[in-house]
Amino acid sequence: MRSGPPATLLAWACAGASPPSGLGMRGGARPSGTGSASEREAPGLTGAARRVGARTGGGRGVVGPRRPAMGLLSDPVRRRALARLVLRLNAPLCVLSYVAGIAWFLALAFPPLTQRTYMSENAMGSTMVEEQFAGGDRARNFARDFAAHRRKSGALPVAWLERTMRSVGLEVYTQSFSRKLPFPDETHERYLVSGTNVYGILRGPRAASTESLVLTVPCSSDSTNSQAVGLLLALAAHFRGQIYWAKDIIFLVTDHDLLGTEAWLEAYHDVNVTGIQSSPLQGRAGAIQAAVALELSSDVITSLDVTVEGLNGQLPNLDLLNLFQTFCQKGGLLCTLQGKLQPQDWTSLDGPLQSLQTLLLMVLRQASGRPHGPHGLFLRYRVEALTLRGINSFRQYKYDLVAVGKALEGMFRKLNHLLERLHQSFFFYLLPALSRFVSIGLYMPAAGFLLLVLGLKALELWMRLHEAGAGPDEARGVPGPSLAAPPVQGVGLTSLVAPLLISQAMGLALYVLPVLGQHVAAQHFPVAEAEAVVLTLLAIYAAGLALPHNTHRVVSTQAPDRGWMALKLVALVYLALQLGCIALTNFSLGFLLAATMVPAAALAEPHGPRPLYAALLVLTSPAATLLGSLFLWRELQEVPLSLAEGWQLFLAALAQGVLEHYSYGALLFPLLALGLYPCWLLFWNVLFWK
């Protein structure tokens, strides 16, 4: 009965805990040592043990003395069989698990896994609202005046906005802010940003400013959004004449689109997350319950597109989307999600295939972790929010501002009924269509299957490492601690420290250096700061591949196989942990990274067709995933990219990713630079282990 060690390992692995890395080798080997020790100590113990045994009248199981404590809990023989099965069938199991994960994900677009959405919040579900907004002309006049004033002053016409908001009866305040971006933003053409937000508060007569709702319109130099401002003012005028408001309503016009929103939100909550300088707010209206952002670019629209994906993949409560959808249906508005119409026919294959496209688009958007509209920034403060965009395409039926205004009026009136914050419905979901959703319980298995591959692979390595150490022992079936212990103890930390440290240092350099060294780079090379940042980023990224991979030779003299196996084991566990955590908070990102990184991570080893593995690894590195996602994204939107365009977009996306980390606190860049890139480098290390 010498099957203790493998059974122990399996017990650890099954419990979900990571096997203790590096040192684990010793832990794995210990049972044989401790077994003999306890044998030696046994005579001293026996008296007491026997007396206990006598008193309790004897237990059921009679256990041999060399068995470690863990082995008591289950039958070691059966576990050893299972371990052997895992070892022998590892490759097919991994393939099966991976295929199952991908298939499960693709199946999410099909009806048994997608459910119809339903309103969970009672306060919004059963009440009837009659929309009375009829200020279409007024909205157009406001929009025209706003556009004229904007053109005249060349900036947000703050004084005009203040005057107009006051004339419709709001309490008006302004907030000025300024922000120096870490490097010039070439997409939006801004670097030193200073602007002024204007907001008016409609005080609800029934309450004491404890709760509020927000209607916000982002304005910036490239998208004037004047129709949205016109509609906001017309709605404010209409809302002001009503007596039923139980919550205050804040009408917010932000300058420099999201930067203004971020400045306002930080000032409203009196925090400073991103280091923006702004004047304190003079007027507040309690806890914000929900927010709607509006972007319109023409007087008539053909459809209304709704965006839910927020900063770091946060989503608003599903009830808010349900509310929007209710009013789309009621007003007969054409509403789209990800720019895609809702499939009508779910019985044939077309519907699900179309919804699969929508689902993939949502996954790509959510994975990017960008705030896809001003609503994305509200979500950090636990304010449920979404962005509505008016689309004017070449369809025949058009809706004027009244139709949009009525939908907004209905939404605000229902939100006004809310007694509690939106909390009844889902916070984690995927949307294959506007009226269908996949809940967290149904989509998580897809990520789970993918991560299982890493687990299986790690298990296999662990057992192979043990066998390599205790192989003879296992084969002969007699105790032989002297054979196993000494070489095993040598593996451990020393040979792993160098690759781990080097790759983490690379990650740190990738995170810190581009922004820190932009001026140096711009001085010495003929590039602008923004380009310098992106190029430094790529240079450091590529330099990581060329690092010395033989540091272990210096510090360790053990069997070479054990070295890379230990390193790969650590890397696999590290990757699995990271992906698991990411998938819990932002499923899309976790799944996307798992789907690309897992196969290469599982395959990487210094034997076999090395160039093939290397190519696969490079193709599935985080940066390549980003590039691929861009192509997939445009493909799904039916605007395919050429290679050159794709590369330009890729460079722009890198710059945007870094900028968004600094200006809004998006976590994708640090996550990739400090977490996944070093982890990926470990696999690269494994591949070139000599």
Q: Give contact residues for other proteins (rule: CB under 8 A).
A: 42, 46-47, 49-50, 52-53, 56, 58-65, 72-73, 163, 166-167, 169, 171-172, 203, 205-211, 240-243, 269-271, 280, 282-284, 286-287, 380-382, 419-421, 423
Closest approach, Cβ 419 to other proteins, in A, equals 6
Residue number with CB closer to other proteins (170 or 407)? 170
When the beta carbons of 46 and 585 are compared against other proteins, the nearer one is 46
Closest approach of Cβ 294 to other proteins, in Å?
A: 24
DSSP symbols for 403-428: HHHHHHHHHHHHHHH-SS-S-SS-SS
In terms of CB distance, is 240 or 398 closer to other proteins?
Answer: 240
Shortest distance (Å) from residue 201 CB to other proteins: 10
Nearest to 202 by CA among 242, 162, 254, 158: 242
User: Which residue, 345 or 420, is less far from other proteins as judged by CB?
Assistant: 420
Phi then psi for 451, rounded to 5 degrees? -70, -25
Give min distance, CB of 423 to other proteins, in A: 5
Are 450 and 583 a contacting pair, CB within 8 Å? no
Q: Give residue 11's region: left, alpha or beta (phi > 0; psi -120 to 50).
A: alpha
Q: What is the C-alpha to C-alpha distance for residues 454 and 656, in angstroms, rounded to an integer?
A: 31
Closest CB to other proteins among 82 and 207?
A: 207
Report the residue number, 73 or 512, with the smaller CB distance to other proteins.
73
C-alpha dihedral sign at 63, 69, 71, 72? positive
Quote the CA–CA distance of 477 and 480 in Å, as a whole number.
Answer: 9
3-state secondary structure of 576: helix
DSSP labels, 263-302 = HHHHHHTT--SS--EEPPPS---SEEEEEEEEE--SSSBS
Give me the least distance between CB of 605 and other proteins, in Å please.
37
The residue whose two tokens read 């990757």 is 575
Cα separation, 184 vs 528, in Å, equals: 9
Smallest separation (angstroms) from other proteins to the CB of 168: 9
Give how far the C-alpha of residue 390 lies from the chain's centroid of Cα atoms, to the nearest Å: 27
Closer by beta carbon to other proteins, 16 or else 59: 59
Q: Considering the complex, state which of residue 398 and residue 421 has its C-beta at the smaller distance from other proteins.
A: 421
Amino acid in position 497: V
CB 535 within 8 A of CB 521: yes
Our separate counts of H helices and E strands in the chain read: 26, 12
Task: Identify which of residues 12 and 633 has a Cβ nearer to other proteins in the complex.
Answer: 12
Q: Which is nearer to other proteins, 448 or 646 (CB)?
A: 448
Residue 575: C-alpha distances to residues 306, 334, 617 (Å): 34, 43, 14
Q: Round to whole Å and give the CA distance between 422 and 321.
A: 11
Cα angle value 334/335/339 (rounded, 5°): 115
